[in-house]
């Protein structure tokens, strides 16, 4: 069954289905699995993946050489040709027609690989390599050498499993979000339907939001609206029911373990609460795995849907905000729990100025709410702030194949001044741009700047400057520059500008530092 799982993973990587598009892939796959233990492992791998490395390429190369008799240097040469070590090792073997191992058997071997001695390792690898097809061997090699992560969103997985099994999506999502291990969990444990407490902790419908532009805002009777900032970060609902706290994102993910600050709040004075807000990660670990105890979050609440078992979404926003303020005041002085205050504006000009200042306040724009109607009668109006723009230099280009000339990803850099020396440091990666009439001449000049090629990656002489726009920037421990840009896009090629006219990291640093003041 490992071969079927490998083909599923390859299909998901190639097609990138999401939402309802994922269902045919998973339904066909789970229907073909005869063993419940394989289903459990498949769910675990699709949802959580493998985040630790069990072995290294030199170790697997030595075992492959021992089994096949092919010398190490020849295997190394094949990795240069394929560009992928896992694939090079997989191509050393042919499928012998031996009985295919189950996903459970393979995963038990992969899980135990680190603790095994050489002899059982070689025996187990030989059995797997000779019984799997090329896709199966490649996947197992990757799992051992670099771990495994599927391109499947948790809420999409829960939704598809709900259709397949008949279990409520919210119940499945809650169950999958709790810590669990596949060797200690049965298929019936995952899909049981009698857990009413978990099902009761589902979120309410999120307040609908409609984007507007300045032309639309200028025609509104602004005296009939309140305004507040549209905060960065994930929109969430904190649900307190049945003496249990659940934290849901707008797209249906449970993230309670990622936001431990909400688990420590004292909700005991209420029979139920549903608060809506945004959670911002301030720990500087964006894109880097970190323990929940070392994360720092700022949670800003802006709406209240339910209090003491009463649905209050029919009330006007102002009334709900008053109730919300009372709820938050009962939590005491919590530095990381904030209330989203209304903005005091008297004219469109003042609102425009506040919108321009949004980027320096952890906000991406302005939210306008009707004073008299709830959000489900009149949706909130989101007036996005203009993207931030910097001039950046193209450093590298990645193509779709080692010998191809079709770019699929660009690496951009900014100047960094250190010890009287100036150098380029990579700041972000961007998808291919759409420069319209500039496209043909842009690619012609780009390929003229290629200094070296490393497989699919082209190293460029640092001459091409582009206008880079993004929503906002945050500190990041993972990235070499120390920052991560949210939703970066190459907006325009600037052929008239020299590389030394591009911006430096100080410009980005100022943006991030200003964002700490709410």
Q: So what's the pLDDT on residue 392?
A: 94
pLDDT in the model for residue 257: 73
Exposure of 240 in the CB half-sphere (CA atoms within 13 A): 21
Confidence of residue 193 (pLDDT cuts 50, 70, 90): low
Q: Which residues contact 476 (CB under 8 A, 6 or more apart)?
A: 284, 285, 286, 287, 288, 482, 483, 484
pLDDT(293) > 70: no
Q: pLDDT value at position 512?
A: 66
Range of lowest pLDDT (47-61, 195-209, 254-268, 401-415): 195-209
Rounded Cα gap, residues 304 and 339, in angstroms: 11
Let me know: does 389 contact 469? Beta carbons within 8 Å: yes
Q: Does the structure show a pLDDT above 50 at 213?
A: yes
For the cut 70, the answer to whether the pLDDT of residue 273 exceeds it is yes
What is the predicted pLDDT for the residue at 517?
44
Give the per-residue pLDDT at 514: 53
User: pLDDT tier at 196 (50, 70, 90 boundaries)?
Assistant: very low
Report the number of secondary-structure helices (H) and strands (E) in the chain.
19, 19
* pLDDT score recorded for residue 194: 57
Cα dihedral 501, 507, 508, 511, rounded to 10, equals -150
Query: Is the per-residue pLDDT at 287 higher than 80?
Result: no
Residue 229 above 90 pLDDT? yes
Q: What is the pLDDT of residues 18-35, one digit of tens each?
A: 777 888 888 888 888 878
Q: What is the pLDDT of residue 225?
A: 93
DSSP-based three-state secondary structure for 474: strand
Distances (CA, A) of 192 to 34, 167, 178, 198: 19, 7, 15, 11
Cα separation, 299 vs 339, whole angstroms: 9
Q: Report phi then psi at 329, rounded to 5.
A: -65, -25
Average pLDDT over residues 463-489: 84
- Categorize the per-residue pLDDT at 334 as very low, low, confident or very high, splitting at 50, 70 and 90: confident
Stretch 463-467: mean pLDDT: 91
Per-residue pLDDT, averaged over 205-223, amounts to 90
| pLDDT given at position 516 | 47
Selection from 247, 310, 309, 241 nearest residue 276 by Cα: 247
User: Per-residue confidence at 484, pLDDT binned at 50, 70, 90?
Assistant: confident
Which pLDDT belongs to residue 378? 82
- The token pair that represents 120 in the structure block: 């059982």
User: How confident is residue 241, by pLDDT bands cut at 50, 70 and 90?
Assistant: confident
Global pTM value? 0.57
SS3 333: coil
- Model confidence band, residue 219 (pLDDT cutoffs 50, 70, 90): very high
Q: Please compute, for residue 45, the number of CA atoms within 13 A of its CA located in the half-sphere on the CB side.
A: 24
Res 428 pLDDT > 80: yes
Cα 389 to Cα 376: distance, rounded to the nearest angstrom? 35
Backbone angles phi, psi at 154, to 5 degrees: -60, -40
pLDDT given for residue 286 in this prediction? 43
The answer to whether the beta carbons of residues 464 and 493 sit under 8 Å apart is yes
Q: How far apart are CA 297 and CA 477, in angstroms?
A: 16
Q: Does an H or E element contain 373, and which? A: none
Tokens (6 digits) for 317: 């926003």
Mean pLDDT of 68-80: 89
């Amino acid at each position: 069954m490992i071969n079927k799982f490998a083909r599923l993973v390859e299909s998901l990587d190639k097609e990138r289905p999401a939402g309802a598009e994922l269902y045919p892939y998973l339904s066909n796959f789970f229907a073909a699995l005869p063993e419940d233990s394989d289903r459990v492992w498949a769910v675990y791998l699709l949802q959580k993946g493998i985040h630790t490395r069990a072995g290294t390429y030199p170790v697997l190369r030595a075992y492959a050489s021992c089994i096949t008799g092919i010398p190490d240097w020849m295997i190394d040469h094949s990795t240069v040709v394929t560009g992928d070590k896992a694939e090079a090792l997989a191509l050393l073997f042919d499928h012998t027609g031996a009985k295919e191992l189950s996903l459970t058997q393979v995963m038990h071997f992969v899980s135990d690989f680190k603790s095994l001695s050489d002899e059982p390792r070689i025996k187990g690898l030989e059995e797997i390599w000779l019984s799997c097809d090329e896709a199966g061997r490649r996947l197992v090699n990757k799992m051992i050498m670099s771990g495994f992560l599927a391109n499947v969103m948790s809420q999409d997985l829960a939704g598809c499993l709900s259709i397949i099994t008949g279990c409520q999506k919210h119940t499945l999502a809650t169950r999958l979000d709790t810590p669990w291990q596949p060797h200690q969990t049965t298929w019936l444990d995952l899909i049981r339907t009698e857990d009413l407490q978990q099902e009761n902790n589902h979120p309410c419908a999120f307040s609908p939001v409609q984007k507007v532009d300045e032309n639309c805002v200028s025609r509104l009777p602004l005296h009939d609206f309140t305004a507040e900032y549209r905060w960065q970060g994930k929109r969430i609902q904190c649900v307190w029911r049945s003496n249990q706290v659940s934290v849901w994102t707008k797209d249906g993910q449970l993230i309670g373990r990622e936001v431990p600050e909400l688990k420590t709040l004292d909700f005991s004075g209420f029979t139920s609460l549903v608060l809506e807000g945004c959670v911002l990660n301030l720990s500087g670990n964006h894109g880097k795995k970190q323990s929940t105890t070392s994360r720092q979050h700022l949670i800003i609440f802006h709406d209240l849907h339910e209090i003491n078992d009463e649905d209050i979404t029919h009330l006007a926003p102002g009334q709900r905000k008053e109730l919300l303020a009372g709820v938050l005041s009962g939590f005491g002085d919590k530095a990381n729990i904030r209330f989203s205050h209304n903005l005091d504006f008297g004219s469109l000009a003042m609102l425009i100025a506040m919108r321009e200042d949004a980027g320096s306040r952890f906000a991406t724009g302005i939210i306008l709410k009707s004073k008299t109607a709830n959000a489900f009668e009149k949706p909130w109006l989101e007036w996005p702030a203009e993207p931030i723009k910097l001039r950046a230099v193209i450093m590298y280009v990645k193509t779709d194949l080692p010998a191809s000339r079709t770019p699929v990803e660009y690496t951009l850099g900014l100047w960094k001044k250190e010890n009287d020396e100036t150098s380029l440091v990579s700041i972000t990666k961007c998808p291919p741009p759409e420069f319209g009439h500039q496209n043909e001449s842009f690619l012609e000049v780009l390929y003229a700047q290629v200094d070296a090629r490393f497989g699919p990656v082209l190293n460029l002489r640092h001459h091409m400057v582009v206008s880079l726009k993004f929503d906002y920037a945050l500190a990041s421990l993972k990235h070499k520059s120390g920052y991560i840009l949210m939703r970066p896009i190459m907006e325009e090629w600037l052929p008239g500008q020299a590389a030394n006219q591009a911006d430096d990291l100080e410009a980005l640093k100022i943006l991030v530092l200003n964002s700490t003041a709410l």
